Amino acid sequence: MAEEEKKDFWARFFGSYIWKSIFRVGIPRDRRGRLMQVLSNFFLHLHPVSLPKHAVKLKYTWCMGGLSFFLFIVLTFTGVLLMFYYRPTIEYAYNDVIDLRETTPMGIMREIHRWAAHLMVIAVWFHMFRVFMTGSYKAPREFNWCIGVVLLTFTLLLSFTGYLLPWDQLAIWAITVGSNMAAATPFVGQEGPGVALLSIGNVNLIGRTSDARFLLLGDTSIGAGALLRFYVFHCVFFPLIAVFFMVVHFWRVRKDGGISGPV
């Protein structure tokens, strides 16, 4: 009997005006209800309402794309939290990172962020691997594959720009090497081949204060400028671009006929 009461309490609860105003549909009891759930929910609307069987087989999807996205969300969240305690200046950066472990509440926020970043790189790679192995880049999904490649690149860039922020030896030297490659860019890097071509008369246009590396660091060597720059790249610029491409990526997944499968 108690069962019964409980049941119709829930019935009334989920049937209530407020509940409906928020979630539109009540409890999905039947096919229609379940469809409605997905259709009427912002967070689920990038799913179709129904899928071919293999699309829910982990064996087929490995869920890597989903995890990549999930990790991106985790990174955004933890990243924002870290920004409350981290100041990208040569006076503070290093010590703030020490404090993140020593005194900041929930001492492992930085760890979560860092390991999640590594994990995301791996997840993205596996996602690409899966997509390749199932030949899912083939028509009509060629372009989405390209976007995927772009996303992969930005994943790496995000990870790379984040690498400088602790402002320790690992950081500065990894970035030194990386940024010196920029200096070796053909034509626009002061060390690169053909740089001499970009000159008017004997006025060189590309020099230590005017080449790719300089634009990257905002300075002739890694210092306060580079730190700030990488911080903005890492926290604002690249994420925005990445999000933009993600949106397109997901949208294309739907528009290119949902998840791939044999015809």
Partner 1 sequence: MDTLKHVINVLSAPQVSFLAAAIAFFFVFPPTDRFQSWNRRLRLDWLWTVKGGILLHALVIGAFFLSTLDPNFRAIVTKPDNVPIALLLFGTLFFLWLSMKQACDNDARLANDQKPNEYTDPSESKILVWPDLVYIELIAGILCMAALIFWSIALEAPLEEPANPTLSPNPAKAPWYFLGLQEMLVYFDPWLAGVVFPVIIIVGLMSLPYIDTEPGGSGYYSYSDRKLYVSLFMFGWLLLWVYLIIVGAFMRGPNWNFFGPYERWDLHKVVALTNINLSSLIWVKLLNQPLPDNIIIREMFGIAMLGFHFLVIPPLLAMTILKKFYARMGNVKYAVFMFLSMAAVSLPIKMFLRWTINLKYVVAIPGWFNL
Partner 2 sequence: MADSKQDQADKLKAAGAGKAHGHVAKGHVASGDGQTRRSFISWVVVGWAAFAACMGGLATITMRFFAPNVLYEPQQTFRAGAVSEYAPGEVSTRWKSKFGIWIVRLDDRVVALSTICTHLGCTPNWLASEQKFKCPCHGSAFRMNGINFEGPAPRPLERHKIYLDDEGIMVVDKTVSFRQERGQWDEPESFVAV
Partner 3 sequence: MDNDTQRYYDPNTLNRWFAVSCVVFLVSLVAMFYYDYKREWRDHQATFREIDIRVSTEKLDREQENVAEKEEYEQLQTALLAAQEEQSKQGQELDTLASELAAITKERDSAREDMNFKKGERDAVKYEMEQAREKGDRKAAKLVKRLEAREQELAEKKLNVEQLESKMLVMNSAITEKTAAVVSVERQLARLTSQGDLLKRKLDVLDPARMSFLDKAGDKMRDLPGMDMLNPRYSVRDHQLIINGITEDLVFTRVPRVDRCKACHMGIVSRNFQEEENPYRSHPNLDLFLTQSSAHPIKEFGCTSCHSGRGRGTSFKTAVHMPTTREQREEWEKEHGWKKLHHWGSPMYPARYTQAGCYECHANDPELDGADKLNLGLAIVRKAGCNGCHLIDRFNGEPKAGPGLRRLKPKLAKDWSFNWIKNPKAFRKHTWMPSFFKQSNNSDIEARTDVELKAIVHYLFAKSEEHSAQQPKADTSSGNAENGKRLVRARGCQACHMLDDDKYDDTLDVEAMRRQQGPGLVGFSSKTTAAWLYGWLKDPSSYDPVTRMPDLRLSDEDARDITAYLLVSETDEEKDAAISEVDGQILDEVTLELIAGNMSHAAAEEKLKGMDAGSKLEYTGMQMTRHYGCFGCHDIPGFEDEQPIGTDLSEAGSKPIAQLDFGLLHDLEHVNYAWFEQKLKDPRSFDHGLEKKPSERLRMPAFGFDEQDIEAIVTCLLAFSKPDSELKKALPRTPKNIFVEEGEKLITQLNCRGCHIIDGSGSAIRPSIVKWAGEYPPGAELEEAEEEEEEEDDGWGDEEEDEIDPEVLAMAYTPPDLTGEGAKVQPEWLFHFLGDPTAVRPWFEVRMPTYSLSEEEKNTLLRYFSYLDDQKFPFETVATVDRNSEEFKVAEKMFSPTVMNCKSCHVVAGKPPAGKTAAEWAPDLGMAKTRLKSDWVLKWLIDPQELTPGTKMPQYWPKGEPSPMPELGGDSLRQQEAMRNYLLTLEDE
Q: Which is nearer to partner 2, 164 or 242 (CB)?
A: 242
Binding to partner 2 (CB under 8 A) within 73-102 occurs at 73, 76-77, 81, 84-85, 99
Q: Is 145 in the site for partner 1 (CB under 8 A)?
A: yes
Residue closer to partner 1 (CB basis): 37 or 204 = 37
**From 14-22, 190-198, 201-209, 247-255, span contacting partner 1 (CB under 8 A):** 190-198
Q: Does 37 bind partner 2 (CB under 8 A)?
A: yes
| Stretch in the footprint of partner 3 (CB under 8 A) among 14-22, 53-61, 158-166, 208-216 | 53-61
Residues 110, 97 contacting (CB under 8 angstroms): yes
- Pick one of partner 1, partner 2, partner 3, none as the site partner of residue 228 (Cβ within 5 to 8 A by kind): none
88 in contact with partner 1 (CB under 8 A): no
Q: For partner 2, which residue of 22, 58, 139, 177 counts as binding (CB under 8 A)?
A: 22
Q: Which of 12, 194, 208, 254 binds partner 1 (CB under 8 A)?
A: 194
Binding residues among 217-246 for partner 1 as defined by CB under 8 A: 221-222
**Are the C-beta atoms of residues 220 and 208 closer than 8 Å to each other?**
yes
CA angle 229, 238, 247 (to 5 degrees): 165
Q: Kind and range of the H or E element at 92? A: none
Residue reference for tokens 């294309």 = 252
CB of residue 5 vs partner 1: minimum separation in angstroms?
A: 26
- If one counts every other C-beta atom within 10 angstroms of the C-beta of residue 70, the result is 15
Residues in CB range of 248: below 8 A, 6 or more apart: 147
Neighbours of 167 (CB within 10 A): 24
Distance of CA 256 to the CA centre of its chain: 22
Q: How many other C-beta atoms are found inside a 10 Å radius of the C-beta of residue 145?
A: 18
Q: Are 225 and 219 in contact (CB under 8 A)?
A: yes
16 scored as a contact of partner 2 (CB under 8 A): no
Q: How many CA atoms lie within 13 A of 184 on its CB side?
A: 6
169-183 and 224-232 are packed helices; what angle lies between their axes, rounded to 10 degrees? 90
Q: How many residues bind partner 1 (CB under 8 A)?
A: 97
Cα distance between residue 143 and residue 24, in whole Å = 36
Q: Are 25 and 33 in contact (CB under 8 A)?
A: yes
Task: Give the contact letters, 105-144, x = binds to partner 2 (CB under 8 A), - = no.
Answer: xx--x-----------------------------------
Q: What phi, psi does 254 have (nearest 5°)?
A: -65, -50
Site string for partner 2, 40-79 (x = CB under 8 A): -x-x-----------------------------x--xx--
Q: Select the binding partner of residue 91 from partner 2, partner 3, partner 1, none (C-beta < 5 to 8 A, by kind).
A: partner 3
Contact set with partner 2 (CB under 8 A): 7, 10, 14, 22-23, 26-29, 33, 37, 41, 43, 73, 76-77, 81, 84-85, 99, 103-106, 109
